[in-house]
Amino acid sequence: MAVVSTPATLERAVPVMDNAEVLRIRNDFPVLNQLVNGQPLVYLDSGATSQNPVSVIEAEQEFYEQRNAAVHRGAHHLAVEATEVFEDARQTIADFIGADYEETIWTSNATEGLNLLSYALSNAGLWAAQGRGDQRLRELAPGPGDEIVVTEMEHHANLIPWQELAFRTGATLRYIPIGDDGNLRMDQAGGIIGPRTKVLAFTHASNVLGIINPVKELAALGHAAGALVVLDACQSAPHLPLNVKALDVDFAVFSGHKMLAPTGIGVLHGRQELLDILPPFLTGGSMITTVTMERAEYLPAPQRFEAGTQRISQAVALAAAANYLTETGLDRIHAWEAGLGQRMVAGLESIPGIRVLGPAAGKERIGLAAFDVEGVHAHDVGQFLDSRGIAVRVGHHCAQPLHRRLGLTATTRASAYLYNTTDDVDRFLEAVAGVRAYFRA
């Protein structure tokens, strides 16, 4: 069987996926088997929300049909079974990202996970000031004179929570800029990350540029400065093998709806020794040990950060999604999508009046391409493509500062996944080639 070379992070050659296999995979996704505006649907918006295979849909349905009950709260049969499948799902996701069970926290999405961290760190300062908790809290809490470092390519979800943390604590927010090619200015990173840096937060893969950032190099700079390293893995966890311990990050977040799972479920990974001393973000039932009328004591992670009724069926479905990706092979998925990304970029670059953001054809990227059509607004491009049955994303993709840096207000983005074929990409390219003529640009 033919093999394909993959990035250096992969240690072995892997069997190549082909269109025939992808078409079989596509049959697992009911929503893709439909016509849109009289044309077979080409779904190229998985960077925003992926579709769900039958196994994931059935996993959530089966929970409601057979095991629906509150977890961690009852001794009856359904409650015990619900708790077992809920915690089994946690172990599945921990294994999926190379983490420990206790380090895996359920959230509603990655945005909640990042806000959880942001508020936990500002609460750490309040606790420390009141003599509450471990002395290490004082070392974790940002304050006046401290710095929080992000990058210029961040999604708003990994920017605004840190802006607000800086506002609440008096810390200063700084960022690593990008060059004209979209890559981080790593030559400047060492001068920006320094002794005052308390938090370094950055994306693994850009949702606009398709760039895969040098996580280990950035993490080494952050840890050398004594900073907490936070990884936004929303565009990496669904698409390439992810091992948070090997990457040496302190925290990582990702969302289920981008990796074949339902909406309303996400994951926060954190080092256990950090999670167990951070103050909780939400408080209430299921995350306590002892409660009096004056105060409460809290459980260790993960329950410490899971107050109230949890996203039980969604967690079960997310585990089913992780199993689907694992069985297919994330290394194989990454190689296939990388090929589709190259096909998209090469095709777009050959069309007059198209500007592609991020790495040029032949340079490593994930399977997405954002582009600007000269003389035509991105929303018009999106509607033109939709009239031909092609679903893409338009707008600033929750990355206004990045677009501003590149001199743009909006772009069109096509993002592929394991259920997309080369024919999908070719239909997309053929349609894009007709945009400017249609609008007489």
Catalytic residues, which ones?
398
Task: Calculate the alpha carbon distances from 238 to 27, 93, 183, 329, 396 in Å.
Answer: 19, 12, 22, 11, 22
Task: Report the distance separating Cα 113 and Cα 201, nearest Å.
Answer: 13
Q: What share of the chain is helix, strand, coil (3-state, %, to 5)?
A: 40, 20, 40
Closest-CA residue to 433 (of 366, 353, 358): 353
Is residue 117 helix, strand or coil?
helix
Q: Return phi, psi of residue 266, to 5°.
A: -150, 180
Q: Strand 42-43 relative to strand 390-391: parallel, antiparallel, unpaired?
A: parallel
Taking the CA of residue 110 as centre, how many other CA atoms within 13 Å lie in the half-sphere pointing to its CB? 28
Q: Strand 288-291 relative to strand 368-373: parallel, antiparallel, unpaired?
A: unpaired
Task: Report the distance separating Cα 252 and Cα 182, nearest Å.
Answer: 23
Residue 343 CB-density burial (10 A; 0-12 exposed, 13-18 middle, 19+ buried): buried
Residue 329 CB-density burial (10 A; 0-12 exposed, 13-18 middle, 19+ buried): middle
383-406 burial: b if 16+ Cβ within 10 Å, else e: ebbbebbbbbbbbbbbbebbbebb
Task: Report the distance separating Cα 260 and Cα 241, nearest Å.
Answer: 15
Task: Report the distance separating Cα 52 and Cα 160, nearest Å.
Answer: 29
Looking at the chain, the number of H-run helices and the number of E-run strands are 16, 19
Is residue 119 helix, strand or coil?
helix
Task: Report the distance separating Cα 45 and Cα 293, nearest Å.
Answer: 50
Q: CA Rg, the chain, in Å?
A: 22
